[in-house]
A = this chain, B = another copy of it.
Amino acid sequence: MKDFQVNPDLLEERMLCPFDQEELTNLLDGGKQSTEERRRLEKYFLQSGAGKPDVDIDALGAVERYEYDIKKSTELFKIAQDNNDGAMANIKAMVGGGTGAALMPDGTPLGLHFIMFIPTLMGQGTLDQQAEWLGRAWNMEIIGTYAQTELGHGTFIRGLETTATYDERTQEFILHSPTITAYKWWPGGLGKTANHAVVMAQLITKGQKRGPHPFFVQLRDEDTHVPLKGIKIGEIGPKLGMNSNDNGYLGFESHRIPRKHLLMKNAQILVPLSMCVGFVFVGQNLWQAYSHIQQDIEEGNFDKLPELHALSSGLKALVTQECADAMDSLRRACGGHGFMCNSNLPRLWGLVTASCTYEGENTVLQLQVARFVMKCLDQDQSKPLPESMKYLRARDSSSTCTTIRGLVLLFQTTARNMALKAQLALKANEKTASHKAYAWNQTTVQLSLAALATVRAHVVSEFATAVENPSISEPLRNILRDLFELLALAWIQRFSGDFLQYGGAQAVQISWVQERILVLLAQIRPIAVSVVDAFDIPDEALKSTLGSYDGRVYERMLEAAMRGPLNEKDVPDAFHKYLKPMMQSNL
């Protein structure tokens, strides 16, 4: 791609930036050191030339595209491993974050090998099992994936149908898919790439079901790559996005594996995570909490685990949904150009919206939050509440939209009263329902709404704390305060009904909020480019004709179009084959 001069309108905006962009970049990365490490990795990969667009993957057929993805992934892993010092950090960067997006924007068929297969062996395998398999996996002598979800079963893990029946005589497990809904479905790399997998299956011994357990399973011959006997395997087809993963299906026909292939260490927790400024701060705090709690767990203290689980579930549900919605608004705001693949907005939206579903469907996660909040409300008054839930015992007081703490209070009051309303509905339903679970199901609408209000209150509270952080300079704090206020007021406007009904807000306040948002937008507009520049995402990562640093939107769109494979020939073959005969047939 040509190097364009920066659009003069953008240059002018950047000259007016009223804060230190590097300070914001460091804050978003989680410190100066993290920024430097991130940049080192980006430089390392991007200088290899691997991030340059060489073909338009959207114009490739599925078979060509898979071949391209594999070629590129194997080249990249070679580059990552060549740097012996930082191989681990390199691979981590390769499969995630901005660098990963620059290198393989739609994912890689080898991703799950590093994201799930190796970590699962490390977390769930005994020392003996690790000794046997981990080295080979790390050297990529074997390629693995993680097969849990089934055609008919996603979130409800206890419902998994694949069975692993123990045969005492031969000391083997017999893996079997009793129905087609038992077929494993979705694992990345499973379709054509992996020759091994960790497979979750219902353990059956002495005729008794023992619940889902993980098994180490060879899928294909290591030399010929042909699927083993009793193993039905294939790729599941084109998707709305993420088409660089050969997501696969997998069925077993009484397939036998050795007894020692049952992975036997305890379970571990993995948390995904976020994007915009407010969410970044919450994310950083959550990550800190996760590290602390991880330490507590190793010392045998499980007290804070439910709170971490609830907050991370709720944030995942809120952040992925907000990001998907915001990205779609952004795309529509770009008119027809946002619909083009070369804007990269369709692909980014595809990635984000997929995250609303995978690793915990959002409604299910909201209900996890609700369950935690209901437990807190039911808890004996003599026992203290977890830190993030203390506001559940506060009293209503008049709150204001004009101060940071006033806004936090308003969100917490609203969340508390919505939670109390959901609790009332739940108790009422429990009186008439034949089973507690039915009552819960009847109340899920109110519970979900209360959960989302809870998570919004948490985000606003954490963002407020970040704005008040004394180590931030005054110019940057002014910017962050405006962004904080905009997020809070935009939510108040969007959910004005909730704030009017449950937060004690008055109609006149909502009107004020609407007008104040217009003032804030006018205030933030001139620094928007500077804030976005501080996100420090290179063009190679964003891969968007509409979002490049130089702002030369039209030049980039036209150039991208001209590069298309359909434009290689002025006259397509189809003209001679079909169009011309048709056009002449009526002469």
- Seen from chain A, the residues whose Cβ lies within 8 Å of a Cβ on chain B are 56, 58-67, 70-71, 74, 77-78, 139-143, 149, 151-152, 154-155, 180-181, 183, 185-186, 191-193, 222, 224-227, 234-241, 246, 249, 328, 332, 335-336, 338-342, 346, 353-354, 356-358, 361-362, 442, 445-446, 493, 495-501, 507, 510-511, 514, 517-518, 554-555, 557-558, 560-562, 564-567, 570-575, 577-580, 582-584, 586-587
Contacts and interface: CB of A to CB of B under 8 A. Distances in A.
Nearest to A501: B507
A191 B356 CA distance: 36
A222 B580 CA distance: 9
Contacts of A58: 62, 237-238
Contact of A192 (B63, B442, B572, B582): B572
A498 to B, nearest CB: 8
Contact of A579 (B74, B181, B328, B555): B74
B561 A235 contact: yes
B346 A358 contact: no
25 contacts: A56-B238, A59-B238, A62-B564, A63-B566, A67-B572, A74-B578, A74-B582, A77-B582, A140-B582, A151-B558, A180-B558, A181-B554, A186-B336, A234-B564, A234-B567, A235-B561, A235-B564, A237-B566, A238-B340, A241-B339, A249-B558, A332-B362, A335-B361, A446-B514, A500-B501
A222 B579 CA distance: 11
Given A66-B572, A237-B566, A238-B342, 5 more contacts: A149-B336, A155-B335, A238-B340, A442-B518, A496-B497
A339 B59 contact: no
A226 to B, nearest CB: 6
Given A154-B335, A582-B78, A571 B234 contact: no
Nearest to A497: B496
Contact of A501 (B139, B185, B237, B496): B496
Which 7 pairs show the lowest CB-CB distances between chains A and B? Answer: A496-B497, A61-B61, A58-B238, A59-B62, A240-B346, A139-B586, A238-B341
Contacts of A558: 151, 180, 183, 249
B445 A514 contact: yes
A366 B375 CA distance: 46
A240, A346, A445: residue with the most chain B Cβ atoms closer than 10 Å = A240
